[in-house]
Amino acid sequence: MTEKFRLQIREWLDENCPPSMRTPMPADETPTGGKKARYKNPDTKQWMETCAAKGYTAPIWPTEYGGAGMSAEQHQIFRQEMARINARPPLAGMGLAMIGPALLEFGTDEQKAEHLPKISSGEIWWCQGYSEPNSGSDLASLQTRAVPDGDEYTINGQKIWTSGADSADWIFCLVRTDTEAPKHSGITFILFSMDQPGVTVKPILLISGMSPFCETFFEDARALRSNVVGKVNEGWTVAKRLLQYERTSIGSGGGQSQRPVVDFAKDYIGLVNGRLADAPLRDEIVAHAMDDRAFALTVRRTTEESRSTQAPSFVSSMFKFYGTEQNKIRFELMMSAMGTQMLGWEGGGFDDMELTQTRAWLRTKANSIEGGTSEVQLNIIAKRVLGLPD
Ligand SMILES: Cc1cc2nc3c(=O)[nH]c(=O)nc-3n(C[C@H](O)[C@H](O)[C@H](O)COP(=O)(O)OP(=O)(O)OC[C@H]3O[C@@H](n4cnc5c(N)ncnc54)[C@H](O)[C@@H]3O)c2cc1C
């Protein structure tokens, strides 16, 4: 049965995945979807739409919300077959990885019917309004205020590091709805459109010349009360779960689903008697590949163990911590193999793949900060997984 499924997926991918979607993905070709998306490579849009039509942008979501309704086992096979041909993800972003799963768990039927199909089809791009200038690791101290007004809320305050806010259509946002309650108790999780007069975004220019995130200002922004997810003042519960989805996604996204480091190394160092020419590097690459494999199996086992709930837990902090460290090591190893060819920024002497790898290497440094820093994950593991005292 599973072999038949594998064959079906393999044949479908062979027929439908364009050749340019089987190469490492430059950051500026990330398939975010959304109404403001610009597609540098037209294949990106075509690949997204072809997959969306089959439910392959959201393989495990129910078909009624645009998913393919795959079981965990089928999803594993799907991922393996995608990795086999180095297929790029057809759609990426916070809609699929974060707010979608949170809505599946906490959303009302109306919220699911309204938002999920627009996520899986790539119609709407979401951003995350969590961090504020004085509330990062201590997120529950957030101050952005929401005040009820008829069937809406009026929102005032500021968020920061809002990834993609200048291109996003909607935001999932944490707002304070009770200023008297203890800090974790007065927070509400709410959704609203970014395309309204009360929302202003200011991209933060990085040293790389890119602006992947923004300062986001709310001045009397409006949100419908019906777009509160979970209960008013109990948004912390939804917020924490969403972080678990985010951390699982950041931590378990790499490794087995990426081109093996040894393939890069073979291209740049070459083989002697069928083995990688550089013996010490060979040992390091093998050790890393074994750790990757063990990690992937651990993620899989944990997913299977939590199959009844279909939701992550505090263990996601272990995935986030370990997976992001593994990803950083992965890129350091590629750097060792590719040498100065992985230090190009622009101009001649470097091909597109090499220039992509340089940027991807730098981007890995943020993996252990975004979604909660490594130190914060270690605190959570100590308290919530190991049960150590505060
Ligand atoms: C690439 C990227 C994308 C991001 N995208 C978004 C986004 O879309 N939306 C959003 O809301 N936010 C986003 N963030 C923000 C991110 O969530 C925060 O940067 C992160 O939670 C850390 O908060 P901070 O930057 O305020 O650091 P701080 O909380 O000020 O931490 C500074 C340092 O102190 C350490 N520290 C803090 N508290 C403790 C503690 N209790 N124990 C031990 N060490 C501690 C931290 O580990 C860190 O090293 C993004 C960040 C990055 C890097």
For the segment 197-243, what is each residue's pLDDT rounded down to a tens digit? Answer: 999 999 998 766 677 899 999 999 999 999 999 999 999 999 999 99
Answer whether residue 255 shows pLDDT above 70. no
Question: Could you tell me the distance, in angstroms and rounded to a whole number, from the CA of residue 162 to the centre of ligand 1?
Answer: 12
Answer whether residue 312 shows pLDDT above 80. no
Answer whether residue 254 shows pLDDT above 60. no
Residue from 94, 88, 87, 158 nearest 124 by CA:
94
Ligand 1 in contact with 260 (CB < 6 A)?
A: no
Task: Please give the share of the chain, as a percent, with pLDDT higher than 90.
Answer: 77
Domains of the chain: 2-92 (1.10.540), 126-235 (2.40.110.10), 253-385 (1.20.140.10)
> What pLDDT is recorded for position 47?
98
* Residue 16, amino acid: N
Q: Which atom of ligand 1 is found nearest the CA of 366?
A: 53
Answer whether residue 35 shows pLDDT above 80. yes
Question: Could you tell me the distance, in angstroms and rounded to a whole number, from the CA of residue 158 to the centre of ligand 1?
Answer: 16
Within 10 A of 49 (CB to CB), how many other CB atoms are there?
15
Instruction: DSSP for 22-45, please give it.
Output: GSPPPGGG----STT---SSHHHH
> What pLDDT is recorded for position 310?
59
- The DSSP bridge pattern shows strands 152-163 and 213-224 to be antiparallel
Answer whether residue 46 shows pLDDT above 80. yes
- Work out the angle at residue 173's Cα, subtended by the Cα atoms of residues 172 and 174, and round it to the nearest 5 degrees: 140
**Position 305 confidence tier, pLDDT thresholds 50, 70, 90:** confident
* Summary mean pLDDT of the chain: 92
- Which tokens in the block code for residue 297? 């199996």
Ligand 1 in contact with 233 (CB < 6 A)?
A: no
**Position 307 confidence tier, pLDDT thresholds 50, 70, 90:** low
Task: Taking residues 14-38, report their average pLDDT.
Answer: 92
Ligand 1 in contact with 366 (CB < 6 A)?
A: yes
Instruction: DSSP for 235-269, please give it.
Output: HHHHHHHHHHHHHHHHHHSSGGGS--HHHHHHHHH
Catalytic machinery residues = 246
Q: Which burial class, exposed, middle or buried, applies to 6 when counting CB atoms under 10 A from its CB (0-12, 13-18, 19+)? A: middle
Q: How far apart are CA 380 and CA 33, in angstroms?
A: 33
- Which tokens in the block code for residue 185? 């108790």
Question: Could you tell me the distance, in angstroms and rounded to a whole number, from the CA of residue 129 to the centre of ligand 1?
Answer: 13
Low-confidence winner among 58-62, 237-241, 311-315 (lowest mean pLDDT):
311-315
Ligand 1 in contact with 128 (CB < 6 A)?
A: yes
> What pLDDT is recorded for position 208?
67
